[in-house]
């Protein structure tokens, strides 16, 4: 049974990525599961972006995006739920970072909170240098301030050389009860 979603809510941003299987279907199902969490609602999602993998390991291209949520969950319980959702899609973290994945969910920002714990750093420590995060984030929140780094739109030029291409599909297409169209900012076209 779902609890009341009106308890103290915080805005958070979640990055999504997949490069195995039916990537768009997996991302959309991941969004549905995110929206089903207690005291959590997905409020807005970016378009889908085709991106090259980071690192030297040969693997398929990713489809990435970002969602804005409102949640009553604190950061560590939210992270635990994100990891459970990933595991439900067969994500195996035993292979370390940088490998292929069915579903990757990263907590990028949680309100204006800045924290550094062994299992969680907010804002995400590499968010400001990754096009596959910044372009979709700029699409839905270009003026959002990243603590210690600046506004999202100001960070885009720093990753302009990275391979990222917006697709003609939203992450919420076909997902019931979620916004179908992102708010597009022309600054990142």
Residues designated as active site: 91, 101, 104, 106
**Residue 107 burial by Cβ neighbours in a 10 Å radius (0-12, 13-18, 19+):** buried
- Cα–Cα distance measured from residue 17 to residue 174, given in angstroms and rounded to the nearest whole number: 18
Q: How many CA atoms are closer than 13 Å to the CA of 189, on its beta-carbon side?
A: 6
Which single residue is written with the structure tokens 């009106």? Answer: 6
What sign does the dihedral 30-44-184-107 (CA atoms) show?
A: negative
């Amino acid at each position: 049974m779902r609890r009341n979603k009106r308890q103290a809510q915080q805005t958070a941003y979640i990055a999504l990525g997949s490069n195995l299987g039916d990537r768009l279907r997996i991302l959309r199902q991941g969004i549905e599961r995110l929206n089903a969490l207690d005291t959590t609602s997905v409020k807005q999602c970016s378009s889908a972006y085709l991106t090259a993998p980071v690192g030297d390991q040969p693997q398929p291209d990713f489809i990435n995006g970002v969602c804005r949520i409102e949640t009553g969950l604190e950061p560590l319980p939210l992270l635990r739920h994100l990891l459970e959702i990933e595991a439900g899609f067969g994500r195996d973290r035993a292979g370390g970072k940088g490998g292929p994945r069915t579903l990757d969910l990263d907590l990028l920002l949680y309100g204006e909170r800045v924290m550094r714990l062994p299992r969680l750093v907010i804002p995400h420590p590499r968010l400001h240098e990754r096009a596959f995060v910044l372009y979709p984030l700029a699409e839905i929140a270009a003026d959002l301030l990243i603590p210690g780094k600046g506004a999202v739109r100001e960070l885009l030029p720093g990753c302009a050389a990275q391979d990222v291409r917006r697709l003609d599909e939203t992450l919420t297409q076909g997902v019931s009860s979620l916004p179908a169209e992102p708010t597009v900012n022309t600054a990142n076209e």
